[in-house]
Structure 1
């Protein structure tokens, strides 16, 4: 169905309207009107030269669209992350194919974005503009005249544009050398006709020379990239229900996998607001232990091997070299700890700041991360893989830390500032020790004599604690924390973990849906209805939990509703607004897509 892209009276596009393309190092977000509003070059964590998503006036954009009114339809090329958009005007139709391309030997050592414009019918006047900004950096963009290919530079980042016959219009150069007082952008216009073909290719590097391909080479790289994605998808094995949505979620996760290291970013963006009344803006361009664990499990279920190995290796190295006391919450994509947050003067999406670089949750104690790390290794090793001696020693140390620390207050899964005895954290400690015991029995973890019995004793103590302090018989539900009366949807994760698949958890599902539910959607925990939108992953956790407690028909019915939540190209943000289904928070969000995959897999396994 044709859709008229929403107007931009304030310069911002609706978050539900973004599609994403990527190359294993960075991600570009493309609105329905064809404008790229987010594109860090060359890495996801590089200060983005294209960030109109966060500052419409100064952020920078790559505009490409018909002149005048148009409608647009779009979809990914089958089994790829290459986007194809058809624009229709009163005079004709044009197809635009967008890709962050790969090379002959795989991932390119530089970033190369290619936009192919093909005339389909009639004639269409097209306009384009590459207008960099630098609101998350510290240096202005300057332009250099190199002759045939102008160069834009922002400190150590260089970008060049190959345009062929796409009608590039150069401003008048005021003199020799850096162009600091003239338009630091590229722009142009051309007209398509049936069978015509134009190409725009943008190359970006940091502290490196810039390779400049020919138009023909850039054009051919799109087909090579399509073939690469389809080859990857051909190894994707999923025979269960909701195949289209599960496969698209796997492709979304693949966009967030940082191929140089094996890490997975929690999302491709920073500072998209979760609330319009509270300052809930966060930078998610880091690798959370939790997300990595879920990703490895999902990829292994799909028969993939290379990504899980890279992710496991990355995490083990990061944990071994970490310096913080206890389990780290997340690392940067290179495996280093993060300990600073910088605030930009960018306006924020539709004025909802702040815009941040960095995340201050790094210093928290989150006991659930022990379970995430242990579960990751259990999933990896249960497929017949092997572990090195130092990693085995690390797992023993982590299990012993759980025994010592499970009684501590922590910040919980939701990274809350007030430490409490969160029930889901205690359940996660039980899960961590359950995984440690299984790894011991499989022969992968060889602790000193008596350690396994110590782990089992701690498990029993944790269960007794939860039964005494985490259950409210009067209300028939597990609570969020000891001594409180709030509810927490993250408790439902521990149906899948195996902590409880009985009557108590079934009653908890009903209590959560009654108090925190909004149709098929669910809020994170008590009190959030007045502060933020529903949390996308929580709805899928509910579906998985229903299956685990034996309520399969309800799980399937709910899942059938939930798989309609993604946007027109199958992507999801962190949160979805009750009543309007508007997107909130960073995008695409790994945890949302992981929750869809987990729910589908759990329901399929138990059916």
Structure 2
């Protein structure tokens, strides 16, 4: 797919990562996004948001070509085959990991192997301005040239015979491949510390080691249900967003990719939402994975010991920083570009259900809570008994405070889980009030949030608007009967666009269809027993994925263009949950 004014379509991106950061690679071989060495760092490679000054790592044939891509099976190592009139070449992209886990530096390796004929290749490493805050430069050293951007040092190891050109702000080169030839170009980045200058042969060997490390992880993955390849790819995408150092999961790897082509709805998702963490723990437990689930639980419960509970946190568990707009154009010139997210301090009642349902899953898989966590969860349940009566911003982080139906059900779920944990002896408290208040919430929702005229649960009492997040409460067990079945049909009629759904009424005029909502609908169909319909819907959704199974937040139903941040954790989580729900329902 051709670029427009230097910007690639979002559908063309694949992702590689190392458990600390993520690089996005377009079909034309350009790395347009690579915050390094950490995901939350101001990105030195950000042509995704600023084609002119953002920074890029280019590698491709100089002649016209066709492209075929796939991931090495069971890994997050990307393989791209370029075919020209004179030959073919294979590029393997890997964010390398070490012998015992993360490397102490960030190392992106790009191995080039000649397959047939001869292919002229060119590369360029040109770091950007880190959102127009620094000017990069090339520094000669006793060990060769490095690139500097502020406090970041970037080495560029190369392997194989090539011509290298040293610019003032970039390094570039050309080489020719032949049958069986092998070249490599990489970047190794360090910040505020002595710079590691890797031996090129070690970087090349690191690609094979990284493949082996991913396969060791995938060999622990257990899933024998339908759509196995898509499910494993989504689990691997989630693994890209899991922070190995902390256990946090980033909502996405990017910031400020627009939800519509008019702009204005551009958010930073390089934070850890409690909601996403809860869904991730639930999904990964089902695959038999232990380390990630425990790390995520530990991160969440440690973070919640802060005095104030937020909707999301920094990836290190600290309170979210204040958002700021930065002076760069944005993807395809669609701004604003935001460093930070203004929703951090909203009241979102669904968080109570997210936290307690996650802990319930952890407990049900045979794990034990400590005394401090038990007390904290008891206090959280007591708080939910009162706070459910308040208006909030809802799951969609809206500026209009309302008595949103799914917010109330988040508190209902929290109290149901708290009762369950108390009955297990995990929370040492009398659950009678929690049980009674959960019954009150259920009665309130059934009385105030159901519309007989529409045949659906509405977004909030007195409204005719519909909200696709109600699907989550088929999975929570609130309703798997006739009302939920009727609600599914009503939502598909009003919010549907092909196989996809908009988030809630009126959004078709403001943004793309929300990928997760379609998968939530599939799961809800399975939970109400309409399994054949769920399978058909799932097949339709999966047919709209990109060539390597990476999902953004939204899709434009009219064009199939991707919109929003990428890879989007919630989209991949919803896909996994849908497949599991269908499998459990006998599909």
Aligned to 1:419: 401
- Structure 1 residue 278 displacement after superposition: 4.5
Find the aligned partners of 2:354 and 2:219 in 1 and give their Cα distance: 29
Aligned to 2:55: 60
Select the residue among 567, 574, 578 that pairs with 2:557: 578
- Structure 1 residue 560 displacement after superposition: 1.5
Find the aligned partners of 2:321 and 2:157 in 1 and give their Cα distance: 39
Deviations 1:148-200 (A, max 9, x none): 431211221111111133524334xxxxxxxxxx6211100011111110111
- Structure 1 residue 103 displacement after superposition: 1.2
3-state secondary structure, aligned to 1:456? helix
Most deviating of 380-389 and 286-295: 380-389
Whether 1:151 aligns to 2:117 is no
- Structure 1 residue 263 displacement after superposition: 0.2
Aligned to 1:405: 387
Whether 1:199 aligns to 2:184 is yes
3-state secondary structure, aligned to 1:264? coil
Aligned to 2:418: 436
Select the residue among 353, 358, 362 that pairs with 1:376: 358
Aligned residues: 586
Deviations 1:258-287 (A, max 9, x none): 100000000000000001234000000000
Most deviating of 451-460 and 431-440: 451-460
Find the aligned partners of 2:161 and 2:358 in 1 and give their Cα distance: 49
Most deviating of 565-574 and 265-274: 565-574
Whether 1:555 aligns to 2:534 is yes
Find the aligned partners of 1:549 and 1:149 in 2 and give their Cα distance: 64
Whether 1:217 aligns to 2:202 is yes
Find the aligned partners of 1:328 and 1:9 in 2 and give their Cα distance: 39
Find the aligned partners of 1:105 and 1:604 in 2 and give their Cα distance: 36
- Alpha carbons 2:159, 2:201 under 8 Å: kept: no
How do 1:234-383 residues align onto structure 2 when only pairs under 5 Å count?
234-320=219-305, 322-324=306-308, 327-383=309-365
Deviations 1:417-470 (A, max 9, x none): 1110000111111111010011111110111xxx41111111111111112211
How do 1:45-56 residues align onto structure 2 when only pairs under 5 Å count?
45-56=40-51
TM-score (norm 1): 0.95
Find the aligned partners of 1:282 and 1:25 in 2 and give their Cα distance: 21
Find the aligned partners of 2:459 and 2:125 in 1 and give their Cα distance: 49
- Structure 1 residue 557 displacement after superposition: 1.1
Aligned to 2:571: 592
Structure 1, unaligned runs of 5 or more:
1-5, 172-181
- Alpha carbons 2:127, 2:149 under 8 Å: kept: no
- Structure 1 residue 214 displacement after superposition: 1.4
Aligned to 2:525: 546
Find the aligned partners of 1:76 and 1:254 in 2 and give their Cα distance: 14
Aligned to 2:512: 533
Find the aligned partners of 2:344 and 2:461 in 1 and give their Cα distance: 24
Aligned to 2:134: 139
Find the aligned partners of 1:291 and 1:222 in 2 and give their Cα distance: 30
Most deviating of 123-132 and 7-16: 7-16
Aligned to 1:493: 472
Deviations 1:19-78 (A, max 9, x none): 000000000000001000000110001110100000111111000000121111010011
3-state secondary structure, aligned to 1:375? helix
3-state secondary structure, aligned to 2:164? coil
- Alpha carbons 1:168, 1:186 under 8 Å: kept: no
3-state secondary structure, aligned to 2:492? helix
- Structure 1 residue 499 displacement after superposition: 0.5
Find the aligned partners of 1:317 and 1:382 in 2 and give their Cα distance: 20
- Alpha carbons 1:166, 1:189 under 8 Å: kept: no
Structure 2, unaligned runs of 5 or more:
none
Alpha carbons of 1:489 and 1:403: their partners in 2 closer, same or farther (altered >3 Å)?
Answer: same
Whether 1:126 aligns to 2:93 is no
Alpha carbons of 1:560 and 1:163: their partners in 2 closer, same or farther (altered >3 Å)?
Answer: same
3-state secondary structure, aligned to 1:130? strand
Aligned to 1:161: 156
3-state secondary structure, aligned to 2:184? strand
Most deviating of 497-506 and 152-161: 152-161
Deviations 1:512-534 (A, max 9, x none): 00111112111000000011110
How do 1:62-81 residues align onto structure 2 when only pairs under 5 Å count?
62-81=57-76
Report the RMSD for the aligned CA atoms in angstroms.
1.1
Select the residue among 9, 30, 38 that pairs with 1:43: 38
Most deviating of 396-405 and 559-568: 559-568
Whether 1:476 aligns to 2:455 is yes
Find the aligned partners of 2:78 and 2:321 in 1 and give their Cα distance: 36
3-state secondary structure, aligned to 1:21? strand
3-state secondary structure, aligned to 1:115? strand
- Alpha carbons 1:573, 1:585 under 8 Å: kept: yes
Select the residue among 75, 78, 86 that pairs with 1:83: 78
Deviations 1:118-172 (A, max 9, x none): 111110100000011024252211221014431211221111111133524334x
Aligned to 2:433: 454
Runs of 4+ aligned structure 1 residues displaced above 6 Å come to none
- Alpha carbons 1:295, 1:594 under 8 Å: kept: yes
Find the aligned partners of 1:23 and 1:144 in 2 and give their Cα distance: 27
